[in-house]
Amino acid sequence: PPELGLRGPDEPEPPAEPNGTAVQPLPVPDEGAVAAKHAALASDGVDLTSDVPSNLPYATPGEKLRPAERFFRQYYAPMLNWAPTKHAWLKPVSIGLVCFWATLGGVGARFAFKLRPPTKQEQWFTADHMYTGFGDISSNRFLSGAEDSYVDMQIVLGVAGFERSDNFVVWNPSKNRGKATFDASFDIRERDGQEALRELCDAMRDVPCTVKSCVGGFVRFIRPGELYCPIEEFDEWYGDTVYNATGAKTSSYNGKKDRPTGDSFIDLVKDFTRTSYDTASSFGFIIGELA
């Protein structure tokens, strides 16, 4: 058929291109080879007269192609292989697709390297959304909302460092933590160390909270009345149960002047750890020594 570019034995030679290159027609198929191919397909159970597509990975002669197969065979593949000049390697569509996907991959890699952990809480809705308004009301207009925004913190004093064990796993921090190295210079037996601890508690109460997460009208990092200081509760316990117990004292207890020191203070701290005060367990003893 002429649409296949086949030439019969009595047809003339095809015309030459303007540049002198003759158009090479497709060779005339061998009828014996075609018959043998048809016989082989028939032996495989392929019905060459049916319009139903076969399950073979290739199109058989006369087979009706599926829509996707027609698209790739009649449009997509010729488009990729099309070359406007005599240089067969210059295929603008193929080269354009390669450049497009390479550029897209480069842009994606560039943005991927810019990924960072989030610096603030995710906001799934806009500021004027109804759901966001519910969150603002529950956080700012109810006491429980503001309380839920705070977390309990503990500050540990007297530890110089920490040695992690070899089998410590950061994803399971409660096991195989390691060993703490205590600070030998830390001592609250004497009055100076005791007062330094009290001054630390006073300074923490005045730390301002300037970040956006400070809600509920509080301007301090620690909510008023929510800081529990061990030395203050010790003074409260000692002044009420020991110092003024006999009623013989002519003046009220003043921790800065009347608080015991040395071994007497350590013995009293041991008694304090047996009470029900919130900070009773804050003083740590290791083998009978205050750590």
Which tops the pLDDT comparison, 83 or 45? 83
Do residues 267 and 261 lie in contact, with contact meaning Cβ atoms separated by under 8 Å? no
CA 178 vs CA 154, 175, 185, 290: distances in Å = 19, 9, 22, 20
Q: pLDDT band for position 101 (50/70/90)?
A: very high
**271-275: long-range contacts, CB 8 A cutoff, minimum separation 24:** 272/233, 272/234, 272/237, 272/238, 275/237
Span 127-132, average pLDDT: 83
Band of residue 3 on the pLDDT scale cut at 50, 70, 90: very low
pLDDT at 228 over 80: yes
Q: What is the pLDDT of residue 288?
A: 64
Q: Can you give the pLDDT at residue 38?
A: 67
Instruction: Check: CB of residue 210 under 8 Å from CB of residue 218.
Output: no
CB 71 within 8 A of CB 78: no
Q: Compute the mean pLDDT over every residue in the chain, rounded to the nearest whole number.
A: 77
Tell me the average pLDDT across 217-230: 78
More confident residue, 151 or 202: 202
Give the separation between CA 137 and CA 56, rounded to whole angstroms: 66
- Does 179 have pLDDT greater than 70? yes
pLDDT at 18 over 60: no
Q: What average pLDDT does the segment 181-199 reach?
A: 88
Whether the Cβ atoms of residue 169 and residue 175 lie closer than 8 Å to each other:
yes
Q: What pLDDT sits at residue 4?
A: 44
Residue 94: pLDDT band with limits 50, 70, 90: very high
Between 218 and 97, where is the model more confident?
97
Predicted TM-score (pTM) of this structure:
0.47
Over residues 242-267, the pLDDT tens digits come to 777 665 555 678 878 888 888 888 88
CB atoms within 10 A of CB 261: 14
* CA 77-72-24 angle, 5° bins: 40
Residue 105: what pLDDT? 96
Mean pLDDT over residues 237-246, rounded? 78
pLDDT category at 5 given cuts 50, 70, 90 is: very low
- Say yes or no to pLDDT of 118 above 60: yes
What is the spatial distance between Cα 136 and Cα 217, in angstroms, rounded to a whole number? 13
